[in-house]
Amino acid sequence: MCGIIGYSGREQAAPILLDGLERMEYRGYDSAGVAIRSETKGLQVKKSKGRLKVLSDMIHGGADLEGTLGIGHTRWATHGEPSDVNAHPHVSESGNIALVHNGIIENYMEIKEHLIKLGVKFTSDTDSEVVAQLLEFHYRECHNMLEAVGRVLRRIEGSYAFGIICSDYPDALIAARKDSPLILGYGKGCNFIASDVTAVIKYTREVAYMDDGEIAMVTPEGIDVFDSELVPVEKAHRTVDWDVSAAEKGGYPHFMLKEIMEQPDAIRRTVSPRIREGRVVLDDVKLTPEYVKNISRIFVIACGSSYHVGMVSKYNWEKLLRRPVEVVLASEFRYCDPLVDEHSLVVVISQSGETLDTMAAMREAKRRGGRTLAIVNVVGSSIAREADDVLYTWAGPEIAVATTKAYSTQLVLMDLVGLYLGDLLGTVSAEGYAAIVEGIQRLPEQMSASLKDTEDIKYFASRYFNHDSIFFIGRNLDYAMGMEGSLKLKEISYIHSEAYASGELKHGTISLIEPGTLVVALGSYMPLFDKAMSNVVEVKARGAEVMALTAASRREKMAKTADSVIAVPDTLAMLQPSLGVVPLQLFAYYVALQRGCDIDKPRNLAKSVTVE
């Protein structure tokens, strides 16, 4: 959801804020704005509906705004349509306080009504403006911004990361957070706040993660952090271990393509440190063998693509562990009175580590006594910090809204964890264990080989991009993988698409298959290959055009029935989705390219979903 940034230093703030916003534009892109404070002009606010470019052009790359203190925002609308007035920063009635906000204030209506009764006039429909006005109300009472912010935080409910400047404070910005990410960046003669490290990595790699309830005062000289009672807090600094090039396109036309191509390396980073002398070593988890032996049930909780990783893992883990694995959408979990107890292992999967539904579900699981293990990409994110155990995927920064390398690294990390638990439970044979370890270690090289030649996929994309409805069908792991292939396609190309368990098609949905309907038939799960073939015949008989995906060893057989075939290298059945998903990502990418879509920033979406 929205991206916020703040700068206090000695350089001109506006160009630095625009640069940071550009790196965070994947978080929201329906409007953008900045507020700058200068000695001569006081607070100046510029904001506009549309992409950041509109704002940047309007203020000539920041050259129009003089001042060394400022805040900026790129928005994904929740309260109030995308428009100039609803864009952030929001300014208090006197024009003395400007505020950017990421999150949702749940009790904003009640506060707004109260302020209206006191005569305050509002200009926007947003919950965020209410906070700016409330802040001014308290500031007038106490004449101290820190104190006023503290009072506001005690009054509001919901989630927030705030960046605030006030014309009475020439070089200080104030930040606060609860349930929305916010990092502090420590530069030389300048300091930052931002929703994401990518926004400040060009200027500093030294960061700290704000915790819920904390308030920070940021000046060029330093950052003072306080708890909700305004008692000073010491923050541990961390050094980010990747550099600015990891968050740039590096010659690729889109981040998505770059991230697809980075998958072999990303998987290597996830796997290599965790396999030693043929054994899976998870140094970071503190699950004791006694605890593992007593696990009666496993939940996997996630949203979107991370949920699809859970679907693949369900098939694999139930085989490896002989324990029931329930995969639940995080947004449903909280409300289904889940049967979690102290013998439940609750695995939470999230690239961003900030998805609100996933975090809320994790808290609910903990509240019910479950033990939580998070699989997360973003270091220091909220989910990573709150889980009982965390394993990082080490995929590096993922900028494209549609996930690719995070999905792949989550998948392979889940395989490692499954193997680790299966070993502790004694449910995996020695030969099976060795074969899976070997298969996992070969994945990067096999993936690299299939990424070398993408010509077939480009051709299929040019052949099929005009279809307006596409079905992905498969059984077992192919079905789970099809869910991801279908989501990739619909989110970036806007083609309606559905993933169906092949066997279920004839129970209703087959009525939608008519001459020319494109069916992507997934037949890479070798134990059910013959059944996959029968389903291809079934849809062909209704006139469908079939693009099939299978393992290289079955290419010829599949080509006898399907209209076109994509083949991926053969591996163990349980690992096949790791290889199979890559052409599906590429197919979605090239279809979207043919259709002229905005691939890295699809409409209505944002990378990190911090609202319910």
Measured at the CA of 52, the angle between CA 51 and CA 55, to 5 degrees, comes to: 110
User: Least distance in Å: CB of 271 to ligand F6R?
Assistant: 19
Find, among 518, 529, 516, the residue nearest to 558 by Cα: 529
Find, among 469, 498, 476, 474, the residue nearest to 486 by Cα: 498
Find, among 462, 459, 469, 461, the residue nearest to 495 by Cα: 469
DSSP state of 349: E
By beta carbon distance, the residue nearest ligand F6R is 304
User: Least distance in Å: CB of 585 to ligand F6R?
Assistant: 9
* Active-site residue (options: 112, 258, 405, 607): 607
**DSSP β-ladder status, 545-551 and 564-568:** parallel
> Is 607 marked active-site?
yes
DSSP labels for 241-296?
A: SS-GGGGS-TT-S-HHHHHHHTHHHHHHHHHGGGEETTEE--TT----HHHHHT--
Q: Nearer to ligand F6R by C-beta: 303 or 360? A: 303
Q: Nearer to ligand F6R by C-beta: 321 or 495? A: 495
CA distances from 574 to 319, 415, 476, 569 (A): 10, 9, 10, 13
The number of angstroms, rounded, from the C-alpha of 46 to the middle of its chain's C-alpha atoms is 29
> Is 190 marked active-site?
no
Task: Report residue 572 as tokens.
Answer: 């163990």
Find, among 341, 235, 574, the residue nearest to 438 by Cα: 574
User: Least distance in Å: CB of 208 to ligand F6R?
Assistant: 22
User: Least distance in Å: CB of 354 to ligand F6R?
Assistant: 7
Which residues sit opposite 469 in a β-bridge?
A: 496
DSSP state of 561: T
CA distances from 308 to 213, 466, 549 (A): 33, 26, 18
Query: Side by side, which strands form the sheet with 90-91?
Result: 90-91, 97-105, 158-166, 173-178, 215-218, 223-226, 232-233
Q: Nearer to ligand F6R by C-beta: 216 or 384? A: 384
Q: Element (H or E) spanning 177, and its range?
A: strand 173-178
Q: Cα separation of 246 and 266, whole Å?
A: 12
User: Least distance in Å: CB of 361 to ligand F6R?
Assistant: 11
Q: Nearer to ligand F6R by C-beta: 102 or 358? A: 358
Contact 10, 138 (CB under 8 A): no
User: Least distance in Å: CB of 406 to ligand F6R?
Assistant: 7
Only one residue has tokens 């979990």, namely 333
Q: Site residues (CB under 6 A) for ligand F6R?
A: 303-306, 350-352, 355, 358, 402-403, 487, 491, 609
Q: Nearer to ligand F6R by C-beta: 303 or 562? A: 303
With 0-12 CB in 10 A as exposed, 13-18 as middle and 19+ as buried, what is 451? middle
Q: Nearer to ligand F6R by C-beta: 159 or 403? A: 403
* Active-site residue (options: 2, 166, 190, 303): 2
Distance, first Cα to last Cα, the chain: 11
User: Least distance in Å: CB of 525 to ligand F6R?
Assistant: 22
Q: Nearer to ligand F6R by C-beta: 375 or 536? A: 375
User: Least distance in Å: CB of 385 to ligand F6R?
Assistant: 15
User: Least distance in Å: CB of 360 to ligand F6R?
Assistant: 12
Query: Hey, how many other C-beta atoms are within 10 angstroms of the C-beta on 83?
Result: 17
Q: Nearer to ligand F6R by C-beta: 305 or 502? A: 305
Q: Nearer to ligand F6R by C-beta: 204 or 382? A: 382
Which of the residues are catalytic?
A: 2, 607
